[in-house]
Amino acid sequence: MSRTDQITKIIRSLSNNTPDVEGAAVIDNDGLMIASALSADLDEDSVGAMGAALLGLGERIVSELERGSFELVMIRGDNGFVILTRCGSEAVLACLASTGAKLGLIFLDLKRSAKELSSLLG
């Protein structure tokens, strides 16, 4: 199984097996999509660009405000959540979750998935 297939398997598992997760993607630091399990109506290029930009901003805020090590960025809207976390030094794991999501479970599964992805991405 290729590395891309393994990455896709991990994010599909996150999307399919974690309650209230509606999609996931792995994005490189430049905003390019590595792999995704997103709804067909989402523009992957936009998701990638916005995800990388937001993660970079979140890391800078944590650093500038001396809040310790960066863990994740979460945005809540009327229709759900966008959660971003680092998965290695060169990539971002993005997750879309529904409005009533159990965030503790999602955070746990995101951390596990990010660790697996980090080992694959080097």
Kindly report the CATH number assigned to the domain that includes residue 40: 3.30.450.30
Separation CA 33–CA 36 (nearest Å): 7
- What percent of the chain shows pLDDT beyond 70? 100
The pLDDT value given to residue 122: 77
pLDDT tens digit string along 61-120? 999 999 999 999 999 999 999 999 999 999 999 999 999 999 999 999 999 999 999 999
Q: How many domains does the chain have?
A: 1
Confidence of residue 1 (pLDDT cuts 50, 70, 90): confident
Confidence band, pLDDT 50/70/90 cuts, at residue 59: very high
Check: CB of residue 7 under 8 Å from CB of residue 69. Answer: no
* H-type alpha helices, the chain: 3-17, 44-64, 103-121
Cα–Cα distance, 1 to 6 (Å, whole number):
7
Collapsed DSSP state (helix, strand, coil) of residue 75: strand
* pTM of the predicted model over 0.75: yes
Domain hosting 110: range is: 3-121
DSSP state of 18: S
- Give per-residue pLDDT as tens, 13-53: 999 999 999 999 999 999 999 999 999 999 999 999 999 99
Are the CB atoms for 83 and 94 separated by under 8 Å? yes
| The predicted structure's pLDDT at residue 9 | 96
pLDDT computed for residue 22 by the predictor: 95
